[in-house]
Amino acid sequence: MTNILLADDHAVVRRGVRALLEAHGGFLICGEASNGREAVELAAQHQPAIVVLDISLPVLNGIDATRQIHKSTPGTEILIFTMHDSEETIREALRAGARGCLLKSEADQQIVPAVQALVRHRPFLSPQIADLLFDTIAGQRGLNSNHSPLTPREREIVQLIAEGYSNKKIAKITGISVKTVETHRAVSMRKLKVHSTAELVRYAVRNKLIQA
């Protein structure tokens, strides 16, 4: 049996993916996470063969969760499962260590082939995502090649601020001091050239750190 961890903040999505995979046979869902930090913790605990991971996760976004899982559990393959067909988001996920990427709209037909490919440690891009990236490579679509100016830790802090957490609560979640949180906040705002929490929230929404 292939152990699979599901990470999505919508219970109905997790149930649907579980049903599709368990109907195939040979796949065992070893855990479910509703946010990115929980996904990282469960991956370390269960050491699954595959993590099916949404990009837009609360507390810790899917890209940074991917990076942390890839670092702590290098034998685990990560399939990004997203509704966003953003070139930059997909490229960031692949750079973070994801081995495959699948749009939620393609799940019915593609989730099983995607998982099967990752079990064999082969990359997988669903048809729509492959077309999207091909268009970019072929120069048919514009591409913003600028990477995020924020470090992974700064992006994590910005996400938590945008989700409404206080500095004290962020410090508790991330295991750093309140003063360090304040420093990351100030540095992030300077890098992004923003001057208010509202502007940080807008940045987080535009860059898919949180859902609008």
Please give the CATH superfamily to which domain 2-137 belongs: Response regulator (3.40.50.2300)
Q: What pLDDT, on the 0 to 100 scale, is given for residue 84?
A: 72
User: Which is nearest to 192 in space by CA: 154, 144, 145, 163?
Assistant: 154
Q: What is the DSSP string of 11-49?
A: HHHHHHHHHHHHHHSSEEEEEEESSHHHHHHHHHHH--S
pLDDT in tens, 20-71: 999 988 999 999 999 999 999 999 999 999 999 999 899 999 999 999 999 9
pLDDT at 142: 44
Q: CATH code for 152-206?
A: 1.10.10.10
What is the layout of strands, in order, in the sheet containing 124-125? 27-33, 2-7, 50-54, 77-82, 100-103, 124-125
- Do 2-137 and 152-206 have matching folds? no
**What pLDDT, on a 0 to 100 scale, did the predictor assign at position 135?**
63
- According to the model, what pLDDT value does residue 139 have? 53
For the ranges 11-15, 32-36, 93-97, 144-148, which has the lowest average pLDDT? 144-148
Which helix H or strand E contains 79, and what residues bound it? strand 77-82
Are 116 and 100 in contact, with CB atoms under 8 Å apart?
Answer: no
Mean pLDDT (whole number) for 151-164: 92
The pTM for the full model equals: 0.73
Over residues 84-137, the pLDDT tens digits come to 767 778 888 999 999 999 999 888 899 999 999 999 999 999 888 887 777 665
Average pLDDT over residues 184-203: 90
Q: What's the gap between Cα 166 and its chain centre?
A: 23
Which pLDDT score is estimated for 140?
A: 46
Task: Name the residue ranges covered by the structural domains of the chain.
Answer: 2-137, 152-206
